[in-house]
Each structure stands twice: as structure tokens, then as C-alpha cells.
Amino acid sequence: FGIRALLVVAVTLSPVPASARSENDVTGEDGYPPLWDLARESLLDFPVKDNKIVISAWNYQERLGVYKTLLNASAKYFGAFGPQNSGNILWGLPLQHGWQFHTGRLVDPSGVTSCGYENGEHLCQSVRSWWSCMNYYLAIIPFLGAVEAGLFGQLPYEIEILPPEEKKHDFCYSVEDCWSRMPKLMDDWKDFFEVNKAVSSATFSFKLDDALGLMWKAHTTSIAYALPKFQDRLKYLSDPEANFGKDWANAVDFIGATHFRTDLPTINNFQTFLPPRMLVEGDVLPSISDFTPQQNKVLVSLRDLHKANKLTG
């Protein structure tokens, strides 16, 4: 049962013709996350205050800049795997974040503030958003792990991550802070970025798979750490959306076990099968009328996989 559901999900990993992608493209026209061109290019593009590089992690464009600095700093290790850094396996992270932004998953789902809404603070990421909070552990923690691993070389300043307006205790804000609170998670990301340095065209298959294994290990550890921490955020979501979020988090373990490649073209293909908006009350699988048959099928498969995983322990 669980294997059958996983196989249906796996079908979505095959390339999709451009014509089939166009209607449901959740990235920019060029296949990059929304506003990618406007994101900061390097760490020294961020503001410096009191001898610290200050990053506002609750602004979509600023968090996107964190990803862009990771992609740019690691590009030299992935040059053999695709032109213009397209083979970099870190693309999965900003593309997922771009999908979350595009589909309205980063807004304040409680509706108490205008955070994230187009007629309000459009670039704001709400600390009440389950997706935004989960993503913090797949953006800021990997980034600080990369800093500690020396990906950016010797920086002239320390890094400071600005906290959200509420729920500040749910997050850490510097290398030292995060290391003291979650050493295993920081170690996993540091290990991944240290292995990047060994990637070269001469050792293509073995080293890329090695890097994918460590990246997925850190990725799944991030989710396992964050999932219980943000259970309270699920109450702001509709039941279908909350269930989808939990199903998706569960499926990542299985996807990661395959060492699924997370480069730019593969993830762009993959994301066409994800829901193009938030799920709402009244959305019933597998018959959500404004979703494609494939999107409905994947949601059912994710649900079945999660059920099977719980039933089998």
C-alpha cells in the first residue's frame, strides 16, 4: 500500500514538457523563484550594523537573498553538473520557498495582520504561518551551517538574524545561538557544506550522490526538529491544508531516501504537481476542480503514503 503510493509520487519526478508546465508554473517565467532577480547577491550586500551583517529573515525577499548567497557561494562545486549553476542541488530550497510565496502559504493565516497579503505587507512572512516557520529551519539553519563550514570564507563581520515580532523563542539567531540549542542539526548542515568542497568533475557520480545523501540527511533532520515545534501553527490552517502540510513533511523522508536530485530543472518539473493555491474547507480529494488530475493524484498519494507510514509504525 505504502509502496504503491510512493510509486505514484515517483511518477511525478519524470520530466514534463514545457507546454504542460506553462499553465501551472509556480515560479517566475524563467524558472527561478519569484523576485529572484531582486534578491541580494552576496552577504556583503546585506546591511551592516554594529559590525554585524543584519538579515531580516521574516521578509520573503531577504530570506530569498540568503538562499541566493548559498547558491552563488557553492556554484563552483557544482559547475560540472549543469550550465549556469542549474545543477546545484541547493535549488530545491529556494524553489520550494518560491512556491510557498506564490501560493499564499507565507501570509498570516489568522488574518489578524496584513502580513504577506498583496494589499498589505506583501513581502512579509508571518510567524503564524506553519510553512514560513518550517521553512526557517530549511533556510536560516542551513545558512548558518554553511557559515560555520567556511563556505563564505573569513567574513569581516558576524551574522545577526533579526527575530520576528512574536514567538521569538521558537528560533535561533546566530551560529553560536543555534549551535547551543540544536548542535546535531547544525552539525548535519555543516557536514553537507564541507562535503561540497570535495565535489569535482573528476568524481562526478560518487561525490554528487555523497552530497545528496548528506543534504537530504540534514533536510529531514530539519523537518523532524521543526515539526513538533510548530504543531500550534496548524490551527490557523483549514483541515485540508493542515493535512497536506503533514502529508508533505512525511513524504520528504521517502523522497530523501531516494537521494532525489534537487537541481533547477528537476525541481521545476516536480513542482508543477504541487497544489497551486492553499487548500480550503470544501476541497475534497481527488476531485478539486481547479487542480489538474495529476495534482489531485499526487495529493491522494501523499495522503495514502502518510496513512501507510503511520499504520506500519
Q: What is the pTM of this model?
A: 0.89
Task: Say if residues 298 and 276 touch (Cβ distance below 8 Å).
Answer: no
Q: Cα separation of 176 and 312, whole Å?
A: 39
pLDDT of residue 22: 38
Count of positions (residues) in the chain: 313
Delimit the domains of the chain by residue range. Answer: 36-312
Q: Which three cell numbers, joined as nine digits, stand for 120?
A: 498589505
Task: Say if residues 259 and 218 touch (Cβ distance below 8 Å).
Answer: no
Q: Which three cell numbers, joined as nine digits, stand for 58?
A: 521574516
pLDDT of residue 1: 43
Instruction: Label residue 211 exposed, middle or buried (CB < 10 Å: 0-12, 13-18, 19+).
Output: buried
Mention every residue, 6+ apart, whose C-beta is less than 8 A from residue 245.
Answer: 130, 131, 134, 234, 237
- Sequential pLDDT tens for the chain (313 residues): 444 445 455 544 444 443 333 333 444 457 999 999 999 999 999 999 999 999 999 999 999 999 999 999 999 888 889 999 999 999 999 999 999 999 999 999 999 999 999 888 999 999 999 999 999 999 999 999 999 999 999 999 999 999 999 999 999 999 999 999 999 999 999 999 987 655 444 444 458 888 999 999 999 999 999 999 999 999 999 999 999 999 999 999 999 999 999 999 999 999 999 999 999 999 999 999 999 999 999 999 999 999 999 998 8
Instruction: Label residue 153 exposed, middle or buried (CB < 10 Å: 0-12, 13-18, 19+).
Output: exposed
